[in-house]
Structure 1
Amino acid sequence: MKPLIYGYMRLFSDVTDQQVYATEQEMRRFAQAAGFQLAAVFHDVESGSHEAFYELGVALRRADAHDVVLPSLPHLSTNDVLQDALLDCLEDRFQAQVHVLATPATQDNLSPADKR
């Protein structure tokens, strides 16, 4: 059985369903190519909400999984301090290795202000 990997993304208000689907497919392709099984993708939809992030942590512990894939780091937060804190939480608290996709499709799913 392949090790599990979980995805996490923030759904920005200006992102279409097609862009979300394309990003999830990128995550699936990454997981398959890296030898993982993508177990689930968690989505936070409200600005400032981290409910799905915390659900991700519960899933990691429950499954004893240690890998997370993100479309880009701004999906954790566009605030650098909070982004670092959430990244530390994944790496230290949940002992997760964080994999960040860096493809044009994932960059399309950022709000224009975040494409820096």
Structure 2
Amino acid sequence: MRDDLADGHTEELEDAMCSLAASAGLCFAATFHESPAGDGTAFAELTAELRRADAHHVVVPSLDHLAGQTIPRDLLIAKLAHDAAARVWTIEDCSEVRTAS
């Protein structure tokens, strides 16, 4: 979750992500917070934890929480798929948006 986009609604967004995960039969384990500086630390920690836990799903409020621009966002989604065989879900759509091949 990008804290700068949460706009003071962090708890509500986390509740919505937990609800989406539960409705999809997933176990919501943790929220990774990316600082406004956006140095990628949270993304690296997320990827490492997905591999460590052999987990394959990421829930975000919207794709903007991965990255603000389309090309970097698509690269990050592809990296999650490649490095951790992860799928990305958004509460924005309440749906799965990408599936790893």
TM-score w.r.t. structure 2 length? 0.84
| Amino-acid identity (%) | 38
Provide the rounded CA distance (Å) in 2 between the counterparts of 1:14 and 1:62.
27
- Write the deviation string for residues 41-80 of structure 1: whole angstroms up to 9, x where unpaired: 1010133321011000111011000111111111111122
Give the equivalent residue in structure 1 for 2:76.
86
Amino acid at match of 1:41: T
Higher strand fraction (1 or 2): 1
Residues 13 and 72 (structure 1), Cα distance of their counterparts in 2 relative to 1, 3 Å cut: closer
1:17-32 alignment, distance < 5 Å: 19-32=9-22
Q: Give structure 2 stretches of 5+ with no counterpart.
A: 94-101
For the pair 1:74 / 2:56, whether they are aligned, the reply is no
Give the equivalent residue in structure 1 for 2:33.
43
Q: What secondary structure does 1:69 align onto?
A: strand
Q: Please tell me whether the aligned partners of residues 51 and 83 of structure 2 are also in contact (alpha carbons under 8 angstroms).
A: no
Please say which structure displays the higher CA radius of gyration.
1
Q: Please tell me whether the aligned partners of residues 6 and 13 of structure 2 are also in contact (alpha carbons under 8 angstroms).
A: no
Amino acid at match of 1:11: D
Aligned residues: 93
Q: Please tell me whether the aligned partners of residues 13 and 61 of structure 2 are also in contact (alpha carbons under 8 angstroms).
A: yes
Give the equivalent residue in structure 2 for 1:53.
43
Give the equivalent residue in structure 2 for 1:10.
2
Give the equivalent residue in structure 1 for 2:98.
none
Query: Which consecutive aligned stretches of 4+ in structure 1 deviate over 3 angstroms post-superposition?
Result: none
